[in-house]
Amino acid sequence: MDIKITKTTSPKEKPDQKALGFGKYMSDHMFLMDYTEGIGWHDARIVPYGPIPMDPGAVALHYAQETFEGLKAYRTAEGKIQLFRPEMNARRMINSNHRLCMPPFPEDMFIEAVKAIVTVDADWVPSEPGASLYIRPFMFTTECQLSLHNSREFLFAIICSPSGAYYAEGINPVKILVEDEYVRAVKGGTGFAKCGGNYAGAMIGQEKAEAMGYSQVLWLDGQERKYVEEVGGMNIMFKINGEIWTAPCEGTVLPGVTRDSMLTILKEWGYTVREEKLSIDDLMAYCEKGQVEEVFGTGTAAVISPVGVLNYRGNVQTINNNEIGELSLKLYTYLTDLQWGRIPDTHGWIVPVC
Ligand code: COI
C-alpha cells in the first residue's frame, strides 16, 4: 500500500501519562483511505488529526452505516512497540462490514495501516505502567443519499488515543446492573458486529445504570430476556463451582479478542470452559448459594475487569466480597505481561511495530 504521509507542523502537547483516563486525548495524526465503487480502496494517507468534512446528507449520519474496532499498542520495557492479535480485529471488521453492507477492508491492509499510524505517532505510545495507545479504526459511508439504498462511497479511518484504565475503578471490582427492560441484540440482528448503532441503542441502559451508581449494564438475550449475554463494553465470564461460564457467540454477542484469548488460556490452565447459555435466574440462584466464586469482564478497553456487585431487579449480590478474585488477577497479570512483553509469547499473538 502506498501511504502518503503529511506530518503536522504543530504537534500537540502530550497529556500527563498518569492521568490519561480513557479515550480523552487524541494523537497528532490519523490514517484515512477512501473507497469508491468500481475503483476500490484508494488514497491511503496519514494526515494531521483534525475534523473530517462530511456532507450533511451522508448516509452514515442518517442510517448509521458505520463499523469500528478497538485495539492497543503497547510499549515494552525495552522501548519497543507491539500490537496484540491485530488480525482478529481486521477479521472482525470484515464480518461487521459484511453485516452492514460495507466493503471489506483487507486484513493485510488493516495491519499495515495500523502499523503505519502507530509508527508515525510512536511518541504517543505511553511508557507509564498500565497505559497504552488505544487504536480506533472505523469506517462509514460518506455518500450523500437519503433514500434507503446501499452506498458506493466509504471512508476508512484510524485515530489513536493514549489511554489508561477504562474504568475509574482500575482493576478494582465494578458494579453491574442487569438490564431487564431494554435489549441490545436479537438473533439475525447486528449483535455480533461492532457497529455504532449497537452502542447507541445501549446508551439508555448505560445512563440508567450510572444514575443508580453502577458502572455498566449486563444485557440479557433480546428474545426471552432470560440468558446473560454481555456487558456494555466487554464480554463477561462467571466462575461457578470452579467452572468458567460465558455466553456463546451465536450472533448476539460480540466475539471479543480478549474473550477468545482468555478462553484459550483458561483451557490451557485446565479449566472447564462452558460457552453455554446461562439464565439470569440460575446465576442469581448460584450467587445466593455462594457458588459464584468470581465474575469478570474481558475486553480490549476493559482488559480484565472484576465484577464485585450484580443487581438484578433489586436483588443485589456481592461477588467474592467485592474483592479482586484470584483467577481474575491471574488472568489480568498474564494478559498484561504478555501485551507489555514481560513474558514470552507462546501463542504467536504479539505483532511488533517498531
Ligand atoms: C473496546 O474494548 O475496544 C471497545 O470498543 C469497547 C468500547 C465500549 C470502549
pLDDT digits (tens, 9 = 90+) for 239-278: 999 999 999 999 999 999 999 999 999 999 999 999 999 9
Structural contact between residues 160 and 136, judged by C-beta atoms closer than 8 angstroms: yes
Q: Which residues contact 348 (CB under 8 A, 6 or more apart)?
A: none
Question: In Å, how far are 129, 173, 189, 205, 315 from 212, measured between CA atoms?
Answer: 32, 16, 29, 11, 14
Beta bridge partners of 134: 72, 161
Q: What is the mean pLDDT of the chain?
A: 97
Pairing of strands 174-179, 303-312: parallel
Main-chain phi, psi angles of 186, to 5 degrees? -130, 160
Determine the distance separating the centroid of ligand 1 and the alpha carbon of 68, expressed in angstroms.
9
- The arithmetic mean of pLDDT across residues 157-169, rounded, is 94
Report the half-sphere exposure of 343 (CA within 13 A, side-chain side).
10
Specify the length of the chain in residues: 354
Which pLDDT score, from 0 to 100, does residue 341 have? Answer: 97
pLDDT 10s digits, 7-25 = 999 999 999 999 999 999 9
Longest Cα pair distance anywhere in the chain, in angstroms? 62
Q: For the whole model, what pTM was predicted?
A: 0.97
**Which of 133, 300, 304 for a ligand 1 pocket mutation test, highest count of atoms within 8 Å of Cβ?**
300
Which pLDDT score, from 0 to 100, does residue 188 have? Answer: 97
Q: Look up cell 467452572; give the residue.
A: 243
Q: Look up cell 504537534; give the residue.
A: 11
Q: Answer yes or no: is pLDDT of 167 > 90.
A: no
Atom of ligand 1 nearest to the CA of 136: 3
Which pLDDT score, from 0 to 100, does residue 74 have? Answer: 98
What cell was used for 105? 477492508
pLDDT 10s digits, 299-347 = 999 999 999 999 999 999 999 999 999 999 999 999 999 999 999 999 9
Q: Is 133 exposed, middle or buried (0-12, 13-18, 19+ CB in 10 A)?
A: buried
Atom of ligand 1 nearest to the CA of 301: 2
Beta bridge partners of 218: 178, 231
Q: Is 127 exposed, middle or buried (0-12, 13-18, 19+ CB in 10 A)?
A: exposed
3-state secondary structure of 102: coil
Which pLDDT score, from 0 to 100, does residue 140 have? Answer: 98
pLDDT 10s digits, 282-304 = 999 999 999 999 999 999 999 99
Of 249, 178, 253, nearest to 219 (Cα)? 178
Q: Which residues contact 219 (CB under 8 A, 6 or more apart)?
A: 179, 183, 184, 185, 202, 205, 228, 229, 230, 231, 232
Beta bridge partners of 217: 177
What cell was used for 48? 494531521
Q: Answer yes or no: is pLDDT of 170 > 90.
A: no
Does the C-beta of 70 come closer than 6 Å to ligand 1? yes
Of 342, 295, 346, nearest to 317 (Cα)? 295
Atom of ligand 1 nearest to the CA of 199: 8
